[in-house]
Structure 1
Amino acid sequence: MGDFVNSREIADRADLAQFIAASGGGPHYVYVLRVPDGEPKHGGLGTPFYVGIGQGARLFAHEEEARDPLRYSAKVETIRSIWAKGGEVVRTIDSVHIVEPWDREEELINSIGRLAEGAGPLTNAQTYARSVKLNGIEVRKYAADHAESGDANAIPAKFKLRHTRLMAGPREPLSRTSVFGKIYTVVEANPGVTGEDLIGLLKAVDFSGNKSAYTQGGQVSSSWLVGYIEGGYFRGDRHHLQDYKAQ
């Protein structure tokens, strides 16, 4: 169960930590980022443009992302537009929870509406994927990848880097605690590892603090890992992984 509040505005990291502690300690929370237009909407002041769940300083991660000139998305461009007009993002907490509140996030996204669907102002990139578990591992939007095998640990046949030997770089992620940062750290410690073996190593990494993992116990599906490994290798705004070059 969550402790629902009337969208408490958060000034800075210290304010966030104090509020979470005063609300029972969480550690999880649902947050809403808003445009500073003073409009009273969806339980707070300011038109919402992004809804998410997180813990720790996740609330501030999107502004950090917007400071990276190589990152592009509707969310990032909204933040930059706010800054360009001399404003600041309005950060609000909707509710605080003991476990990750996927249902509350889904409820808010559906009630406010996504810009991509013409249903509302939210820049959230994806529609909400309902909870689906295989062998106790949350797979959500990757359920179809594991439907045939019925095993969340099975590596999807579409994995392009299964036999590719990898090394870290050329670009280091901004944070070592992000998903890309954790993958980078493992590859850095294991230069020459193949994509297939990398998935095995990453199974021992705790991703419970990373919202996109949709995991409470730390276990993640192989398909989820494949998406991030390929993203770190192929995406032009990432390039955290590259072909192995013997020193």
Structure 2
Amino acid sequence: MKNIILLLILVVSVAAVSQESIVQPPLIEGQVLNDATDEPLENVNIVNLNSVVGATTDEAGNFAIRATVNDTLYFSYLGFKSIRVRVTNDWLKFGDIKIKMTELGIALEEVKIRPVQLTGYVEVDAKIIPIYDNYRYRISGLSSGYEGGSQQPGAVSKVLSSIFNPADFLYNVFGKRPQQMRKLRKMKDDDEIRNLLASKYDRETLMAVLQLERVDVDEILNKCSYSEDFIRTANDLQILDAISECYEEYKVLNRGKGKG
């Protein structure tokens, strides 16, 4: 009897290993070059938009990432135009492929800083000094708070509305994009992607993976009552965590609303 049990365990283990090896996507390789100079680009970020895994090029511009046919790879690099490349049968068949990225001309706008000039009179200076009213409201029963921006006089009522009527604000973004929203957790669990997002502020990778426009990303955060300062200054990893937190609360509250 013991021998039969051991045999069954062995068969199940072998089957599980075999199944895992079949499911595991192949590792494809390539090299990223500067289109103008053919010089290799180091630290280019690559994200498989389908499986949501990331990779980075080495000093010779080489990379390796797991992907299957028809997966879309998203390449991004500071100062260069981001591109999407579809994985083809030829790539899997012949192996190494060269990806060329085009450099962008970056023009920085002039920023004028105007100092606050105080008069010494309290009544006058109180009207001159800018006030930043970025509050974060905490509501009993929730693990986190909600921010209200400085230009939102109805911040408190808006917070309550977004909590008790989440579908009214967020269904069009969350409810109609279940597949994209499920990728949030994968992005949070992939160290390559987290490291990439921590150094970026352009929202491009988030928009590519979640299939959202920049205005949609800002609107999600706005409807979840994050302040304008946060939306403007947070890096992409902070934005990812904020959207993910809002989505998780949306799901919980929406289920509760459905039961009622």
Normalised-by-shorter TM-score class = under 0.3
Q: Give the number of the structure whose residues are more often helix, by fraction.
A: 2
Q: TM-score, normalised by structure 2?
A: 0.23
Q: TM-score, normalised by structure 1?
A: 0.24
The structure with the largest alpha-carbon Rg is 2
Q: Give the number of the structure whose residues are more often strand, by fraction.
A: 1
Greater relative CO (CA pairs within 8 A, separation 6+):
1
